[in-house]
């Protein structure tokens, strides 16, 4: 399976982390076209990094396009295509991060864009780093698989 992540994941380099690793459990993906994993343990030195819980998520979801689309026939007169459909594959990381004392964690999201809750950069940088470390490590581990899925449509 090209979208299967093996555990543990070696995390990507982050300031203040030494040899970060993430132990993953298979989770239920929100769609049938996806695979989701939850972090059950962290290794190496990443002081303050927390594992997954319902109120403090740490998951990574890999999804292929819901309905794979093929290239339609070209215009028989001009040879041109009217529009070229796209198959969209997504990788989404969810990581709970604290932004202030005595508050429930907010969710830091990483797609291609990063949505970091204000305040968490100074209050809980370890968990922002942990989320990015897992994402980068998983992408490094399954780089060819992501390419394979983009080409074949098979997760």
Is position 154 within any domain? no
- Write the pLDDT tens digit of every residue in 80-97: 888 777 888 888 999 999
The phi and psi torsions of 32 (rounded to 5 degrees) equal: -70, -15
Q: Give this prediction's pTM.
A: 0.75
Phi and psi at residue 43, in whole multiples of 5°?
-130, 180
Count of domains in the chain?
Answer: 1
Q: How many Å apart are CA 62 and CA 92, to the nearest integer?
A: 7
Confirm whether 74 is domain-assigned.
Answer: no
As a dihedral over the C-alpha atoms of residue 90, residue 95, residue 100, residue 101, rounded to 10 degrees, the angle is 160
Query: pLDDT tens digits for 90-143?
Result: 889 999 999 999 999 999 988 854 667 776 777 888 998 999 899 888 888 887
Tokens linked to 100 = 């202030």
Residue 55, domain member (yes or no): yes
What is the distance between the alpha carbons of residues 22 and 113, in angstroms, rounded to a whole number?
Answer: 22
**Tens-digit pLDDT profile for residues 47-57:** 999 999 999 99
| Segments forming the whole domain that contains residue 34 | 9-66+88-145
Whether residue 153 lies inside any domain: the answer is: no
78 within a domain of the structure (yes/no): no
Does residue 4 lie in a domain region?
Answer: no
Q: Is residue 116 part of a domain?
A: yes
The answer to whether position 108 is within a domain reads: yes
């Amino acid at each position: 399976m090209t979208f299967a992540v093996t555990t543990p994941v070696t995390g990507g380099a982050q300031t203040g982390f030494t040899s970060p690793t993430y132990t993953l459990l298979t989770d239920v993906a929100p769609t049938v076209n996806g695979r989701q994993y939850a972090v059950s343990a962290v290794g190496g030195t990443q002081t303050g990094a927390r594992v997954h819980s319902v109120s403090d998520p740490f998951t990574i979801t890999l999804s292929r396009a819901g309905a794979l689309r093929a290239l339609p026939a070209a215009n028989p007169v001009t040879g041109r295509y009217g529009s070229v459909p796209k198959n969209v594959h997504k990788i989404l990381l969810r990581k709970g991060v604290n932004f202030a004392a005595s508050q429930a964690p907010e969710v830091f999201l990483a797609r291609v864009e990063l949505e970091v809750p204000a305040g968490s950069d100074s209050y809980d940088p370890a968990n922002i780093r942990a989320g990015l470390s897992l994402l980068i490590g998983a992408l490094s581990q399954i780089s060819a698989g992501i390419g394979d899925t983009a080409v074949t449509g098979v997760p």
